[in-house]
Amino acid sequence: MEVTTALASHTTPEVRSLLGDALLHELSHGLGGPYHVLFPERFDACAAAFRAVFAEAGVDGQVYFAKKANKAAVYVERAAVAGLGVDVASHGELREALAAGVRGEDLVVTGPAKADDLLRVAVLQGALIAVDALDELDRLIVLAAGLGRRARVLLRRLPAEQPHSRFGLDDGELAAALRRCVDGPVDMEGFSFHLSGYDVRQRTDLAAESIGWCTEARALGLRADRISVGGGFAVDYVDAEDWRRFEESSRPEHFHAGKSFGGFYPYHSPVAGADALRTILAAAPSGSGEGTTLAELLRSAGVTLLVEPGRALLDQAGFTVFRVQGVKDRDGYAVLTVDGSSLSLSEQWFDSEFLPDPVLVPGGAGPVADAGPYPACVGAATCLESDMLTWRKIPFPVRPAVGDLLVYLNTAGYQMDSNESPFHELPLPPKVVVEPSGSRFRWRLDRHPH
């Protein structure tokens, strides 16, 4: 039968070396089920890359890690040590960030119609609050007055390019919000937005418009000296050529049960991570003076740029390990069953699939007859027909066998835990923090309480 395109995941030298290390099988045996591996050093490196772009562009900038992308404690602990900010959207996330050592003033609280107790702690901690609606601003003003404090506020914009978004204030509401900020116990520090999608052009343009809003706000006597362009810095998972071939050739027959999906994350992105920030800063916004870059506009207006990357700070900062516990032959391909569920690989829960090919790490020591490819899909150890980790018939280079490990690479951004539950009384996969130590690796469990 016709075989599907391979979509080999990008890796790092640490990942490659760990894939060949006995530690992976050791941990699978010792932990008795699937687990996630976390690389904190990689998080540090991604954050440093964003900061380097600000320094290089001569722009005053601040990086806030969007915590919702992963629940582990270790990344927030590293953020605290590095002096990064953290973007939180719930009382629980705020508590975790404070406990990891992030200072209140380094938090930005986002999300719609935030509950009073979240707003109260945010005010008491001096956190920046991205206000999403007029009624939320009114509640915040009453609350801050009651506490005898001032609230630090950004006003979140509803982007004209995404008029159906349920987030943010439209231009009329923004004008009303500014008037209320003038009279209230509020330090109005600027504006924010967060776009879905990865378009860099839109972000440059919206940032420039937001600088214009800062000028209007300042005319009312407000501080308005920072803007947040939110997150949405793409991650590049696979090569351009593989991705192009996949997109051109993909058909329902390439998936178990002829499954088709609404769409996929753009797993190849020519401009990703900190490079996307570099591109946004170096572009000249449409309608600005000829050739004036966003970086220049920010400098001359004295405006600080905040970014809130989630996924991009976690690029290659972790992977997820399952053990093959069954191999069943079907017509021209195999159905693998692994010792966990798609709850630990979240993309399925958005009517989509995490496409980069998992790496097979053989369990047996026997010689591997390499007469592949051996196409196989990957099912969960649950009783749900639809609980598949991968519907696509992945072209494995060797025949998968019981006891092999299946390693999904680059899963730290959103894949690991956003949907995990102890369904079927299956334990939640533990998170293992792995750091190189001389020629070996050292590991410990992450501190986040399940």
Q: Which is nearer to ligand PLP, 310 or 356 (CB)?
A: 310
Smallest distance from ligand PLP to CB 118, Å: 14
Q: Applying CB under 6 A, does 259 fall inside the site for ligand PLP? A: no
Q: Applying CB under 6 A, does 46 fall inside the site for ligand PLP? A: no
Contact 129, 116 (CB under 8 A): no
DSSP 33: S
Q: Applying CB under 6 A, does 231 fall inside the site for ligand PLP? A: yes
Its sign, for the CA torsion 415, 421, 426, 430, is: positive
Those residues whose C-beta lies under 8 Å from the C-beta of residue 113, and which sit 6 or more positions away, are 132, 133, 135, 136
Among 114, 152, 194, 254, which residue interacts with ligand PLP (rule: CB under 6 A)? 194
Q: Which is nearer to ligand PLP, 391 or 414 (CB)?
A: 414
Among 25, 68, 149, 218, which residue interacts with ligand PLP (rule: CB under 6 A)? 68
Smallest distance from ligand PLP to CB 87, Å: 5
Site for ligand PLP in 109-148 (CB under 6 A): 110
Q: Applying CB under 6 A, does 61 fall inside the site for ligand PLP? A: no
Smallest distance from ligand PLP to CB 68, Å: 6
Among 66, 181, 276, 321, which residue interacts with ligand PLP (rule: CB under 6 A)? 66
Give the interface segment with ligand PLP, choosing from 14-22, 133-141, 231-239, 381-389 (CB under 6 A): 231-239
Those residues whose C-beta lies under 8 Å from the C-beta of residue 346, and which sit 6 or more positions away, are 354, 414, 415, 416, 417, 418, 419
Q: Which is nearer to ligand PLP, 87 or 339 (CB)?
A: 87
Smallest distance from ligand PLP to CB 345, Å: 17
CA gap 33, 322 in Å, rounded: 7
CA gap 24, 358 in Å, rounded: 14
Q: What is the DSSP string of 388-436?
A: EEEEEEEEESS---TT-EEEE-S-TTTTTTSS---GGGPPPPPEEEEEE
Strand 388-396 and strand 107-109: the pairing is: unpaired
CA gap 336, 405 in Å, rounded: 11
Smallest distance from ligand PLP to CB 136, Å: 14
**Beta strands per DSSP E along 253-379:** 304-307, 318-330, 333-338, 359-361, 374-379
Site for ligand PLP in 69-98 (CB under 6 A): 69, 87
Give the interface segment with ligand PLP, choosing from 38-46, 70-78, 229-237, 274-282 (CB under 6 A): 229-237
Site for ligand PLP in 306-345 (CB under 6 A): 308-312
Smallest distance from ligand PLP to CB 167, Å: 8
In the block, which residue shows the tokens 């570099």? 278
Q: How many chain residues interact with ligand PLP (CB under 6 A)?
A: 15
CA gap 83, 77 in Å, rounded: 10
Q: Applying CB under 6 A, does 400 fall inside the site for ligand PLP? A: no
CA gap 441, 260 in Å, rounded: 40
Q: Applying CB under 6 A, does 230 fall inside the site for ligand PLP? A: yes
Q: Applying CB under 6 A, does 185 fall inside the site for ligand PLP? A: no
Q: Which is nearer to ligand PLP, 77 or 315 (CB)?
A: 315
Strand 374-379 and strand 388-396: the pairing is: antiparallel
Q: How many residues are there in the chain?
A: 450
Contact 411, 419 (CB under 8 A): no
Minimal CB distance to ligand PLP: which residue? 231
Residue 256's CB is within 10 A of a number of other CB atoms, namely: 19
Among 50, 191, 213, 233, which residue interacts with ligand PLP (rule: CB under 6 A)? 233
Smallest distance from ligand PLP to CB 122, Å: 14
Binding site for ligand PLP (CB under 6 A): 66, 68-69, 87, 110, 194, 230-233, 308-312
